[in-house]
Copies of this chain bind each other. A is one copy, B any other.
Amino acid sequence: MQPTTTPLITDHSSLITSRFLAACHRQPTDTTPVWFMRQAGRYMAEYRALREKYSLLEICYHPELAAEVTLQPVRAFGVDAAILFADILLPAIPLGVGLEFAKGEGPLLKNPVRTLEDVKNLRPVDPETDLGYVLDSIRILRGELKDTPLIGFCGAPFTVASYIVEGGASREFLKTKTMMYSDPHTWHALMDRLSSVLTDYLLAQIRAGAQAVQVFDSWVGALNPADYVEFVQPYSRRLLQAAQETGVPVIHFGTGTTTLLPAMKAAGGTVLGLDWRIPLDKGWNLIGQDVAIQGNLDPAVLFAPLPEIKKRVTDILRRADGKPGHIFNLGHGILQNTPVNNVKAVVDMVHQGLA
């Protein structure tokens, strides 16, 4: 393993060999690139075998394990990009919010942030030391991966804030919205802090060798456009634009975002990620052809028989119409229990293209 200490600049040599990176830059490709959000995970037997011995956090904390898990779907399916195995809440650990992953329960935070005092008490985070294990995974992976580019990622400030304020996953985001509406000073202080931490973290991933990054604003679709612009966009913009300035492609992703897409595009991103609720062509027209687009098969479709899957993959490829700048993906992460063979089949269908 050779630690890579690339400066903040894209490795332009890989632009030529990778159809994923070419598509991010809206350059023509031999066929549509494809990868899947949460492509490493419980639906794969190789992953489950490791999880019998290690917890989610233990895998993240051991760079060689995280790297191994990251490689599993690359080996199994021939996807066009690897995405670092990690969790969007890892930066919350050094912040001191008491993150735990309760068994089968998702993340729980013992010290949620509710007041300005809580924001001030968040600890300083140095990604090189506090999240060095993530950066080490990236360095290992850049040594292991040949022509497959590696995607780093972080949560967007809103989505990370929602966990930190709610104390875990949420359906209504009531505490989050109540902080916005009732105590905007605290909200802005939190978002300011998180956007700094996340920017440092994402830039450190790029320095460590990530060839593209994705910013997950998974739950931002809970907001209306005016609230997005007032309470979220400035902080997402800071993060996205800092990453874009390095030259690596930046994928900006959320779900339920139909009414937010123009404001999300204005915040930044080389590529916008769509969920399945909006037909790909309509989404692309809405945000404009000057950015690339990623998506947007409903993850539930992977449980269907192959002819049904084929019909829906074909529909998305038709809507993309062969225009440079489409990266095939799901509209959200792969679901647990997804049949592995169907994942492989979709990769092949996408690479085969329209008959």
A residues in contact (CB < 8 Å) with B: 171-174, 177-178, 181-182, 221, 223-226, 256, 258-259, 276-279, 282, 298-301, 303-305, 308, 315, 335
B residues near A178, Cβ cutoff 8 Å: 300, 303-304
* Contact present for A315 and B226 (CB under 8 Å): yes
Which residue of the partner chain B has the closest CB to A221? B277
Name A296's closest neighbour in chain B (CB-CB).
B224
Which of the residues B182, B258, B299 comes within 8 Å of A305, measured between beta carbons?
Answer: B182
User: Given the complex of chains A and B, what is the CA–CA distance between A186 and B299 in angstroms?
Assistant: 21
Residues of B within 8 A of A173 (CB): 300
Contact between B224 and A304, CB atoms less than 8 A apart: no
Chain B residues lying within 8 Å of A256, measured Cβ to Cβ, are 221, 256, 277
- Name the one of B225, B279, B299 contacting A279, with C-beta atoms under 8 angstroms: B225
Within the complex, what minimum Cβ distance (angstroms) separates A286 from chain B?
Answer: 10
Contact A172 B335 (CB under 8 A): yes
| A279 adjacent to B221 (CB under 8 Å) | no
A303: chain B residues within 8 A (beta carbon): 174, 177-178, 181-182
Copies of chain A in the complex: 2
Within the complex, the shortest CB–CB distance from A254 to chain B, in Å, comes to: 12
- Residues on B with beta carbons closer than 8 Å to the beta carbon of A226: 279, 315
CA distance A276 to B304 in the complex (A): 32
**Most chain B C-beta atoms within 10 Å of own C-beta, residue among A225, A258, A277, A299:** A277
Establish whether residues B181 and A224, one from each chain, have CB atoms under 8 Å apart when the complex forms: no
Contact A298 B259 (CB under 8 A): no
29 pairs across A/B with beta carbons < 8 Å?
A171-B171, A172-B299, A172-B300, A174-B300, A174-B335, A177-B298, A177-B301, A177-B303, A178-B300, A178-B303, A178-B304, A181-B300, A181-B301, A181-B304, A181-B305, A182-B303, A182-B304, A223-B277, A224-B276, A224-B277, A224-B279, A224-B298, A226-B279, A256-B277, A258-B258, A258-B259, A259-B278, A259-B279, A259-B282
**Residues of the B chain whose Cβ atoms lie less than 8 Å from the Cβ of A304:** 178, 181-182
**Closest CB-CB distance, A185 to chain B, in whole Å?**
13
Chain B residue at smallest Cβ distance from A315: B226
